[in-house]
Chain A
Amino acid sequence: MARSATHRAIDAVWRIESARLIAGLTRIVRDVSVAEDLAQDALVAALEQWPAAGIPDNPGAWLMSTAKRRGIDALRRRVTLERKRELIGRELRILQQLDQPDLAAEVDDVPDDILRLVFMTCHPVLSREARVALTLRLLGGLSTPEIARAFLVSEGTVAQRIVRAKRTLAEARVPFEVPGRDELAERLSAVLEVIYLVFNEGYTATAGAHWIRTSLCEDALRLGRILAVLMAREPEVHGLLALMELQASRLRARVGPHGEPVLLADQDRARWDRLVVERGLAGLERAEQLSGALGPYTLQAAIAACHARARGVEETDWPRIVALYDGLAALTGSPVVELNRAVAVTMAFGPEAGLQLVDALAGEPALRGYHLLPSVRGDFLVRLGRTAEARAEFVRAADLCDNDRERELLLSRAVACAG
């Protein structure tokens, strides 16, 4: 059945208002689970009332006052039932806080509330999956089925994840606050990680309906943009947003007419989204101005900017990319970064130098089973004219690769080596 125009409008209002609503309610009741239940109650009320009564002039304020009223009603009922017993203190406290008359003040104080909520949903006490699910649900305004579709898991799994996450937050008594100076850097990096995980889930989609994945990129960009306003002094917030925008600027050039992937060297750079490139470059500049030493996201954005500024592969400033990877490798110590660096070294200084770096990574446990290691090595060997060895590497890479299309590509490269 087609959803009515009002229902679709309510969905849209929810997308716009839910984070502010849940954040504001969490501040009042100090329990994100209760807050979300109240917000959902208000949504149900809207679905019942708005189709007949029309959408109110200020839907956000309507939802907030309805949520508060529902909370008061529910708690009062319990108070009546348990009149003879002593009320547990928490409920009494929630009741008192909900009963405050100053609604306008609650709504106006919103930006900090959203920031507090971000730090709560991205708290390190939660697993990464839980942080992602809870952040998309409470801050992105996505429904459980939407999250399940995007991550190709069942709705039950996502629902479980969210329930458990909320329980964990309550049990660990995670406060609703922006962390203090001493732990801010670490906690912020957890927040940025969650946003980038969402982005990459969209950007490196391996299966499923593609448009859903594009929307994940947009969800991540939106969270990044919101955070860039809330934490405008933090260079890595701008660095991450710049990185995502520079990568997203290539989205429409990355797909061929039949849905096949188009790799960067073959992309029509005229199809890159200049508006988003410019936003990315401006964001990178902001990050660099605010930075002392560049952080990992700003460094990655700077690398992406080298591609964005280049008219083609030959015009790309590979020595600068190598230097940026040097910085990134020193910061992260990640073997995957080292592998990337080896590729840039080959582009800048030739395949012998790159091959030495890749061979040094051969015993790296983190890269065991990672198909791009033999794939990259195969590339270097081809460039050195050692095609028999290259062929073996491509076959090995194909064996390790989970993605059908990519495996076909690797096998065709192996075949080309034999010829």
Chain B
Amino acid sequence: MRFMVMVPASPESEAGEMPSTADLEAMTKYNQQLVAAGVMLAGDGLHPSSKGARIRFDGAQRTVIDGPFTETKELIAGYWIWECASRDEAIEWVKRAPFEGGLEIELRQVFEAEDFGEELTPELREAEAQMRAQTSRR
């Protein structure tokens, strides 16, 4: 199952300050562990909200609100997409992240087809299906 792990913004990240070398090293090491374990699918850091925007919907009207936005704790500074065997495993991985200072990391499961029916050897039946579609169109 897949999870999005969200790292909240901080006053520093919102000010556009880059993390210290030590922090970057710790994060790189952590990311390497995630990749080596086959868990990480994607991950990125986000620019501060001052470079972002919000678009508000009212009826047919669209209002663009430029950043920065003030409620820092509700802003996201980065995210990962992980594939884990369970929610517990994802939690276990989050616990190993190099964060501190009361930071709260949010974990959310991504919607996926929980099951996918029978049938299909990879190529043959797909091509077969394509033929079937073409045939039926005649």
Q: A and B from one assembly?
A: yes
Which residues on A are within 8 Å of B, measured CB to CB?
A: 8-9, 11-13, 15-16, 111, 141, 200, 203-207, 209-211, 213-215, 218-219, 221-226, 229-230, 247, 251-252, 254-256, 259-261, 263-266, 275-276, 279, 300, 303-304, 307, 313, 316, 336, 339-340, 343-344, 346-347, 372, 375-376, 379, 382-383, 403, 405-406, 413
Contacting residues, chain A, for B113 (C-beta < 8 A): 214, 251-252, 254-255
14 A-B pairs besides A229-B36, A379-B131, A383-B134 with CB distance below 8 A are A11-B86, A13-B92, A15-B86, A16-B93, A205-B117, A210-B114, A218-B1, A254-B113, A255-B116, A266-B133, A376-B124, A376-B128, A403-B119, A406-B118
Q: List 9 A-B contacts (CB under 8 A).
A: A9-B91, A15-B85, A213-B115, A214-B116, A259-B117, A266-B129, A279-B41, A304-B122, A376-B124
Q: Identify which of residues 53-92 in chain B touch chain A, using a CB-to-CB cut-off of 8 Å.
A: 81, 83, 85-86, 88-89, 91-92
Task: Say yes or no: B41 contacts A275, CB within 8 Å.
Answer: yes
- The minimal Cβ–Cβ distance linking A73 to chain B, given in whole angstroms, is 28
Whether B122 pairs with A203 at a CB distance below 8 angstroms is yes
Separation of A218 and B81 alpha carbons in the complex (Å): 14
Contact of A275 among B81, B93, B115, B120 (CB under 8 A): B81
Among all A-B residue pairs, the 10 with the closest Cβ atoms: A210-B115, A263-B129, A225-B38, A265-B133, A252-B113, A264-B126, A222-B38, A12-B88, A261-B119, A343-B127
User: How far apart are the CA atoms of A252 and B86 in the complex, in Å?
Assistant: 19
> Of all chain A residues, which has the CB nearest B113?
A252
B118 to chain A, nearest CB (A): 5
A357 to B39, CA, bound (A): 43
Within 8 A of A (CB), among B88-138: 88-89, 91-93, 112-135, 138
Q: Which residues in B have their C-beta under 8 angstroms from that of A313?
A: 130, 133-134
Are B83 and A265 touching (Cβ within 8 A)? no
Q: What residues make up the interface of B, taking CB atoms closer than 8 Å to A?
A: 1, 35-39, 41-42, 81, 83, 85-86, 88-89, 91-93, 112-135, 138
- Total contacts A to B, CB within 8 angstroms? 171
Contact, CB under 8 Å: B128 / A375? yes
- Nearest-Cβ distance from residue A58 to partner chain B, whole angstroms: 9
Cβ contact within 8 Å between B121 and A204 = yes
Give chain A nearest CB distance to B89 CB in angstroms.
4
Which residues from A are CB-within-8-Å of B35?
225, 229
